[in-house]
Structure 1
Amino acid sequence: MSGTDPRTPSVPGWENQPAPAPAPTARPYEPGPAWGTQPAWGPPPAPPARPEDQAREEALRQIERKRRFRTTAVISGIGMILLTFAWMTSEFHNAGGWPTDGFSSRSSLPHVWNYWIIYPVTAWLLFLGARAWPVYGNKPVTEAEIQREIDRTGQ
């Protein structure tokens, strides 16, 4: 049974079926954001939040920085203790006992230990201090500091 509508198929039982939808039309070209205005990955940046939300997010970031620093300090401290133990063991064996005659830069003297351990310990302390500065020493800029700088420059 074929109807008068040319879109209606002539298959039996399809008489009450709706006509197929028209093909979608092509959309005009819409350029994306300018190069460098949006990150290449991840979600788009969130709209500016309220000051309370910004303060909360900054506090959360600071807590995360402190936790990361503490974890780094503990793990590297354990590594430094293990290195010191290895140094003590090797020096005890090389010098034939405890350092009763002091420390020296020369090896293989009886009861004199080589003091090379101070170099990695010093490097570790400098590294830890450099990691601690952004976490504990670098505070956010306050409005009073901004105003003081504006007054100082006379702008």
Structure 2
Amino acid sequence: MVEVLNCLMPPGIGSSGAAATLFEGHRLSLEYLVKNLLKLYVDIESAGSHTQFYDKFNIRHYISELLEYLWQVPSHRNAWRQISREEERGMYLNFLHLLMNDSIYLLDESFNTILEHKQLEAEMLNTAEWDSRAAQESKRKPASSISTKDYPN
């Protein structure tokens, strides 16, 4: 459902059309959308499926895009402020906690990727090592040429 809402989300604040009316002015949207998106962001932590890790980040990505859009709508921003006051120690604090944890995790992953790229770059500068590595990798059997007879039953 979050993906569907994300697809229906208007391109910007003040857009015209049914989607903009639905997101920016509908009574039910103003009353429930921000609160339930925040709650879903927290609740998805314990989804429990076998693809939980991937699903969690995927769904939270869509939720964060929706929340970013809704923050720009003054009536939704007021609802958000009210939720933060009412839920100060409950769900809202959990939301902030999870948001910080996800941000730290993604930042850590980014730094690790930068280090990998830097190492690869250093290998590329050492042309002899890079050429031998490229030759070794080209000798490997491509994945598409592996047949079922290559694996024991």
Q: Same fold (TM over 0.5)?
A: no
Q: 1 or 2, which has the higher helix percentage?
A: 2
Q: TM class, shorter-chain normalised?
A: under 0.3
- Relative contact order, higher structure (CA 8 A, sep 6+): 2
Normalising by structure 2, we get a TM-score of 0.27
